[in-house]
Amino acid sequence: MTPQDTAPAEPARFDAVELIRRKRDGGELEPAAVDWLLQAYTDGEVAEEQMAALAMAVFFRGLSRTELARWTAAMIASGERLDFSGLSRPTVDKHSTGGVGDKITLPLAPLVAACGVAVPQLSGRGLGHTGGTLDKLEAIPGWRAALSNADMLAQLKDVGAVICAAGSGLAPADKKLYALRDVTGTVESIPLIASSIMSKKIAEGTSALVLDVKVGSGAFMKTAEQARELAVTMVGLGQDAGVTTVALLTRMSSPLGLTAGNALEVAESVDVLAGGGPADVVELTLALAREMLGAAGRSDVDPAEALADGRAMDVWRRMVTAQGGDPDAPLPRARETEVVRAGADGVLTSVDAMAVGLAAWRLGAGRARREDSVQAGAGVQLHAQAGDRVRAGDPLFTLHTDTPERFDRARAALDGGWSVGEAAVDLEPLVLDRIG
């Protein structure tokens, strides 16, 4: 037998234009074609305009269950996979689809770690009206998001929790495709959203995952039907990959808690860890903690006890310190504030999450482009939530920014975003459904 006879076969090659036509016309891509497409795009062999056309075809035609599973696997295979099997405790992660005032990761990760489960939380930065977890934590003086894989593993062994940026080696195909979707109008595709989220989470190496899929005006998914479809799709991808996966559908028609903005949300999270904080933030933190502990096989542990006795706060302080932050340092404060007041007596019947999120963004708490900077102290502080009774002249919102010329546009974002009336408010439950 000659050496040529034993050489590995060349991987199959395909014509990108033919694959675009096939998907455009409603056809299905075979597994080898999906593998080739994602790797060739990552390597620069498939041009940006070709992948943009194919993403638009997927936007309109979708992906079958088989295609989607292979698409996700191909994005994982484009980079490295982390391995936490050497840890002495089980691992579980949480992913939120994003909302206004969604600071839940900050108290949740140390709380679950305080209950004996390791939490490797790879997070991102905000874009638009939804704040990013890393932006919030970077308001803490000295805190750093970038960790090597070795540092991440060491911190999990020592502290039990880490919140950091995903390394460049994790699902690079997704990173490239995500940036393309952002500028080609193909973000709102459930198969592409699901594969983007789950490729990173599966590659991360956690053995269990809890998804917080937001529903409402301040969320990516505006209706329960859309959110349920996304949740079912992601849970299926996780389970197919051997990751214990469940999802909660949670309300995002109004902001979570009483703050939207980076340092403001850190302060509120610390209040929760200290035994206080808004009731809705505490409720959702505990609901997700119970799901995470159950998925990791520790449903016998009550996270409410770890929150009440200070163990979660201890882990928070160690986690922040391990990443160079000073948990005792004063948080940044905006140089300028302006108050929006109630014009009449009555019940605050609604506070629209999108309106508050846009106001916080316009004040400097968010970014329009990935390269934009954010103001750590900017944002919106709420003095009442839907259902609360207010009097004329009471403060409803305090706007925070370093650049007062932003106030006019922030106030404009809030116009029509809240209402005062006499009728009692019948609020939806915070947790709307559970999948998986």
Q: DSSP characters for 337-404?
A: EEEEE-SSSEEEEEE-HHHHHHHHIIIIIS-SSTT----TT-EEEES--TT-EE-TT-EEEEEEES-G
Q: What local confidence, expressed as pLDDT, does residue 127 receive?
A: 60
Q: What local confidence, expressed as pLDDT, does residue 2 receive?
A: 40
Where, residue-wise, is CATH 3.40.1030.10 in the chain?
93-322
Q: What local confidence, expressed as pLDDT, does residue 220 receive?
A: 85
336-421 under CATH 3.90.1170.30, yes or no = yes
DSSP-derived secondary structure letter, 159: T
Q: What local confidence, expressed as pLDDT, does residue 179 receive?
A: 85
pTM higher than the cut 0.75? yes
Q: Which helix (H) or strand (E) holds 214?
A: strand 208-215
Any bridge partners for residue 260, and if so which? 380
For residue 259, which of 333, 310, 318 has the smallest C-alpha distance?
Answer: 333
Contact predicate 342/393, CB 8 Å? yes
Contact predicate 206/92, CB 8 Å? yes
The domain made up of 93-322 has a fold known as: Pyrimidine Nucleoside Phosphorylase; Chain A, domain 2 (3.40.1030)
In 216-332, the DSSP E strands lie at: 244-251, 259-261
CATH architecture entry for 10-62: Up-down Bundle (1.20)
**Separation CA 191–CA 194 (nearest Å):** 5
Where, residue-wise, is CATH 1.20.970.10 in the chain?
10-62
For residue 64, which of 85, 87, 94, 33 has the smallest C-alpha distance?
Answer: 33
pLDDT tens for the chain, 436 residues long, are 344 444 444 557 899 999 999 999 999 999 999 999 999 999 999 999 999 999 999 999 999 999 999 999 999 999 999 999 889 999 999 999 989 999 999 999 999 999 999 999 988 876 666 678 999 999 999 999 999 999 999 999 999 999 999 887 889 999 899 889 978 989 889 999 999 999 999 999 999 999 999 999 999 899 999 999 999 999 999 999 999 999 999 999 999 999 999 999 999 999 999 999 999 999 999 999 999 999 999 999 999 999 999 999 999 999 999 999 999 999 999 999 999 999 999 999 999 999 999 999 999 998 777 677 889 999 999 999 999 999 999 999 999 999 999 999 999 999 999 999 988 788 899 999 999 8
Any bridge partners for residue 246, and if so which? 210
**Separation CA 310–CA 313 (nearest Å):** 5
Task: Please report, as a single letter, which amino acid is at residue 89.
Answer: R
Q: What local confidence, expressed as pLDDT, does residue 129 receive?
A: 66
Catalytic site positions: 95, 174, 181, 196, 200
Query: Kind of pairing, strands 336-341 and 395-401?
Result: antiparallel
Q: What local confidence, expressed as pLDDT, does residue 169 receive?
A: 86
Where, residue-wise, is CATH 3.90.1170.30 in the chain?
336-421
